[in-house]
Chain A
Amino acid sequence: MTFGTMLTTMGEGMLRTILIFVLTLVGSLPLGMVIALLRQSKNGIVSGIIKIYISIMRGTPLMLQLLVWYFGPYYLFGAQIRNWRFPAIILGFVLNYAAYFAEIYRSGIESMPVGQYEAAQVLGYTKSQTFFRIILPQVIKRILPSVTNEVITLVKDTSLAFTLAYQEVFSLAKQISASQTSFTPFVIAGVFYFVANYAVAYGMERIEKAFSYYR
């Protein structure tokens, strides 16, 4: 196998890795906000279920959760779903990361001074106007550093999809390295993850800059 073929094959894996990364963020960033708000619900049953969900997601390995989503339908219900591999991976990643983002949002919301709510209330803003106009923009600025950490972890966590034999960069690197007795695929994978993280860090820094017009 020439270096060129190796790179093309792994290139497809890179696209799959990027797909997991993007879909996880698109799903978990908004879902995390919904979960954070439900966790503050006055209904004790709702907030209780959400708390249990969050602690399971954070208290067990993501690798195990992926296996459960993939094999669970069959072992629990005898259901054989076609092309279930990829949806199971995305489901596992989204539900796991949403729990982490929810906790980040919650700490951000709780750090807001009560005076912001009171000023808005006296001015006559409705609850949802207060949240979307006054609270949320400030919360986003406060939590950006924690979100950056989580997103960088996600870049590396995408490699866990190899558990379900999904052909992303990491799986392919292992396979090609074994079949070609070559170290090169690992170097390519390493460079890919490094560059991806660099791009993420750069992007997040730009976003933080965009929020630096006030303190």
Chain B
Amino acid sequence: MVLEMNNIKKSFGSLNVLKDISFSVDKGEAVSIIGPSGSGKSTLLRCATFLETIDNGVIRYMDNDIVLPGADGKADYSNKARIRQAKNCFGLVFQQFNLFPHYSVLKNVMDAPLVVQKRNKDEVYEEAMKVLDKMGLKDKADAYPYQLSGGQQQRVAIARALAMNPEILFFDEPTSALDPELTGEVLRVIKQLVDEDWTMVIVTHEMPFAKAVSEKVVFMDRGYIVEQGTPEQVFDDPKMERTKQFISGYQNQNY
């Protein structure tokens, strides 16, 4: 197991956002998370990447316990060193890219491997150029983010995450901030990563994409995982009424 999250609970004040979430991701697996807006998808990714702390539950990366229930039943986080180690396992691609505007494309990709992972400069450079090439951005290495289109910026953000050699990549609605004509180029590179057997979790509203590329689909609603299974199970033969409604709603809306 690359990632295991068990019985996760998370609230903001009196608002219970994640009510009892359990799911896991195997090596090489591509998981899509779908569900209506406000159902807690982003919060789940933010908890998995330690941008938010969970109230209760278990988080394991690469079979290492990072969060366990404490004596009082509340979530108990490991020490800093172990969390740092776990952080090295994942990358996150944000809806709003969050590139560093004062760094060139190449520096955006190289800085964390050099500064955080303290790797050798020549090696990092070589790898960064390889990743940028894969993202179709080799000729943009010296550009600054403001000079790029949204689709190009998001591909730089993906390159930045890949350059850390993560075990698992999280995407939070990677195409939602893009003009419709630019979503295709970003979905294509994500598809390419799926084909290369990267382990990933993709929150998305692009239903045909989720159906086509993922091995597992998770449907979330109001803080619960309502249903999960293969794309065929969830999209073509949903068991739960709520899933049926959501999926047919999308079909009526889009086609």
B111 at the interface (CB under 8 A from A): yes
Contact with A along B179-200 (1 / 0, CB 8 A): 0000000000000000000000
A124 adjacent to B116 (CB under 8 Å): yes
A124 adjacent to B112 (CB under 8 Å): yes
A119 adjacent to B144 (CB under 8 Å): no
Contact with A along B148-186 (1 / 0, CB 8 A): 000000000000100010000000000000000000000
Q: What residue in chain B is nearest A118 (Cβ atoms)?
A: B51
- Choice from A116, A121, A133, A214 contacting B115 with Cβ under 8 Å: A133
A116 adjacent to B112 (CB under 8 Å): no
Contact with A along B46-78 (1 / 0, CB 8 A): 000111000000000000000000000000000
A159 at the interface (CB under 8 A from B): no
B115 adjacent to A129 (CB under 8 Å): yes
Q: How far is the CA of A134 from the CA of B96 in the complex (A)?
A: 17
Contacts of A78 in B (CB 8 A): none
Contacts of B160 in A (CB 8 A): 123
B91 at the interface (CB under 8 A from A): yes
B101 at the interface (CB under 8 A from A): yes
Contacts of B91 in A (CB 8 A): 122-123
Q: How far is the CA of A121 from the CA of B116 in the complex (A)?
A: 11
B98 at the interface (CB under 8 A from A): yes
The number of chain B residues touching the other chain, given as a range, is: 20 to 34
Contact with B along A129-169 (1 / 0, CB 8 A): 10001100110010000000000000000000000000000
Q: How far is the CA of A119 from the CA of B49 in the complex (A)?
A: 11
A125 at the interface (CB under 8 A from B): yes
B94 at the interface (CB under 8 A from A): yes
Given contacts A124-B116, A129-B115, A133-B111, contact A115 B164 (CB under 8 A): no
A75 at the interface (CB under 8 A from B): no
A215 at the interface (CB under 8 A from B): yes
B98 adjacent to A116 (CB under 8 Å): yes
B121 at the interface (CB under 8 A from A): no
A122 adjacent to B100 (CB under 8 Å): no
Contacts of B164 in A (CB 8 A): 123-124
B112 adjacent to A123 (CB under 8 Å): yes
The number of chain A residues touching the other chain, given as a range, is: 10 to 19
B116 adjacent to A137 (CB under 8 Å): no
A3 at the interface (CB under 8 A from B): no
Q: How far is the CA of A180 from the CA of B90 in the complex (A)?
A: 78
B101 adjacent to A122 (CB under 8 Å): no
Least Cβ–Cβ distance between B46 and chain A, in angstroms: 8
B88 adjacent to A124 (CB under 8 Å): yes
B146 adjacent to A214 (CB under 8 Å): yes
Contacts of B100 in A (CB 8 A): 116, 119, 134
Q: How far is the CA of A93 from the CA of B145 in the complex (A)?
A: 40
Contacts of A121 in B (CB 8 A): 50-51
Given contacts A124-B88, A124-B112, A129-B115, contact A119 B101 (CB under 8 A): no
A118 adjacent to B112 (CB under 8 Å): no
Least Cβ–Cβ distance between A116 and chain B, in angstroms: 6
A and B contact pairs by CB, cutoff 8 A, 18 listed: A113-B98, A115-B94, A116-B98, A119-B94, A119-B99, A119-B100, A121-B51, A122-B92, A124-B87, A124-B88, A124-B112, A125-B115, A125-B116, A134-B100, A137-B102, A213-B144, A214-B144, A215-B101
Given contacts A118-B98, A124-B117, A214-B102, 15 further A-B contacts (CB under 8 A): A113-B98, A115-B96, A116-B100, A122-B50, A122-B51, A122-B87, A122-B91, A122-B92, A123-B91, A123-B116, A123-B164, A124-B84, A124-B116, A134-B100, A213-B144
Which 8 pairs show the lowest CB-CB distances between chains A and B? A119-B98, A115-B98, A123-B112, A124-B116, A215-B146, A122-B92, A214-B144, A124-B87
